[in-house]
Structure 1
Amino acid sequence: MSGQVTEPEQRAGGGRRLVRAWHGFRAALWRDLFVMVREVPRVLAQTVVQPFFMLLVMGHVLIQIGYVREDYAAILLPGILALTTFLGALQNTALGLVFDFSVTRELEDRLLLPAPLYTVALAKMAFGALRGVLSGVVIVPIGFLVLDLWWTPGQMLAALPLVVLGACCGAAAGLWLGTAVESRNIAVWFAIAVTPLTFTGAIQFPWPMLSDTLWFQMLCALNPLTYLSESLRAVTVPAAPHIPLPIGLTVLVFSVVVAGALGIRGFRARALG
């Protein structure tokens, strides 16, 4: 019958949709990257200052005065890297969305792209993840200098994909937060979210060593940042107690999928609302 769509035509239509989605994603991401090049110092100042002082005080000063053991620096650096990467991606994604939706209205232009809405949401998530990776890459040499520590090339190569995955997890959480919270309340909710994430993310301590404080260990287990910190310790300080790497990777991937799906749904609701 002439009204029926053949299988080759269906495949061709699906291919065109994928091409439009890719072009929309690339256009939205490229615009953000172009703006970021001019704002790199501000971006780094937002995400690196706090981790730098945590490294200085907790990893250098406390060791110098004998308050913690000398090997504590090796435990701390993976946690600080996880914190910088995750929160850098979360902060830039969430606050960027709020700013675009309520102040500049730039997203209204991007929503006119001949591409599905989810491509714009994915572009914002990818941009936030890139900022998180940038922050993490910058904090590592700072940590080496402050802590007088060094990782082998093999350890650095093993940590890099974990940094990328952690940045994607933070960006997905930022997409969810940035679309779920009203613009006027974002500062309050951001402060409420960041503080618990920071102190229950196993940044300053290995998670298995909390076995004598079971209630706090279970609380930390609910935080995806814990699994990023522990996964980075697994590849940089394998002799230290840590959550097995396969478990950490599984939880991080699951968190990206769930938070990303919720964030895309929230983005669609805000865009069409």
Structure 2
Amino acid sequence: MLAAFWHTFRRDIMVTGREFMPFLMQVVVQPLCLLFIFGKVMPSVGATQQLYPAFFLPGVVGLNIALVGVQSVTISLMLDLSSNREIDDRLLAPLPISLVALEKVVFAAVRSLVAGGLAFPLAYLILGSGYQVRTDALLPMFGVMILGALCSGALGLVIGTLLPADKIYLLFTLIFSATLYTGCVYFSWASLSSMLPLQIVTLFNPLTYISEGLRYTMIPLQHGQAYVTLPIGWVLLGLIGSFALFLFIGLRAFHKRVIS
């Protein structure tokens, strides 16, 4: 089973290598635009504070991880589960059905980590002196990124199995929009204390935990004080709980879709 899992995983890596330029555009264009507008242009014209790029960068990294993970699994499953039933080729491998689905989640997590990692050199090139990242919390930062990547891949499994291919427009118009604007990308969770209903709503968005976890580990100390974020314990609990919930729902839905 391990050999079959590895070869299936390696096949997906080879396919990504052959489609390297489309993948690069997918993971680079959005953070490039966001960092340039919100990290360079707006502070330069006085629309935001000069410290905003350091505060905004974790949200960009988290957003890139979340969107790439969801897209990687969702679009792949919609194609595999279409009328051509390309998923049947994978089901013929000597693997339990759950591992076939889990391989897609793991592969999407790897793509997400690559996407999140590429945001750092982009930020360094665009922000210049505004690029500020802590170097004393790299292991916790990597841990949050890995959990966030797995969580986004599991969410993609849920969406890809429950959302029909002819409703893919909902993925971009409703799901991504709701995720983007309630995921604490542009603002911190603590700053919503005066808007309690919205603050509660953001807790149901896994992107909130990715963004806040990365802020906790990335924003430099100010006068020896850490930036106020959602407590890291709640961040880890939210990510682990979301991953477990999405994976459970996704595996059950995947079984129902592929077994006739």
Same structural fold, with TM-score higher than 0.5 when normalized by the shorter chain: yes
Give the counterpart of 1:255 among 236, 242, 252. 242
Aligned residue type for 1:223:
N
What residue number does 2:10 align with? 30
Give the counterpart of 1:267 among 251, 254, 258. 254
Aligned residue type for 2:74:
A
Give the counterpart of 2:215 among 206, 210, 233. 233
Instruction: Measure how far apart 1:71 and its partner are.
Output: 0.7
- TM-score scaled by structure 2? 0.92
Please state whether the residue corresponding to 1:154 is helix, strand or coil: coil
Matches within 5 A, 1:92-241: 92-102=72-82, 105-148=85-128, 149-237=131-219, 239-241=226-228
Please state whether the residue corresponding to 2:179 is helix, strand or coil: helix
* Contact 2:54–2:133 under 8 Å retained in 1: no
Please state whether the residue corresponding to 1:201 is helix, strand or coil: coil
* Contact 1:75–1:240 under 8 Å retained in 2: no
What residue number does 1:74 align with? 54
Looking at CA atoms only, which structure, 1 or 2, has the larger radius of gyration?
A: 1
Runs of 4+ in 1 over 4 A off after TM superposition: none
Identity of aligned residues (%): 33
- TM-score scaled by structure 1? 0.88
Aligned residue type for 2:115:
S
Gaps of 5+ in 2: none
Task: Encode CA deviations 1:60-96: one digit per residue, 9 max, x unaligned.
Answer: 1110011111111111000100000111111111111
- In the aligned structure 2, how far is the partner of 1:241 from the partner of 1:60? 24
Gaps of 5+ in 1: 1-19
Task: Encode CA deviations 1:7-37: one digit per residue, 9 max, x unaligned.
Answer: xxxxxxxxxxxxx3x2332232121111111
- In the aligned structure 2, how far is the partner of 1:154 from the partner of 1:244? 18
CA RMSD of aligned residues (A): 1.5
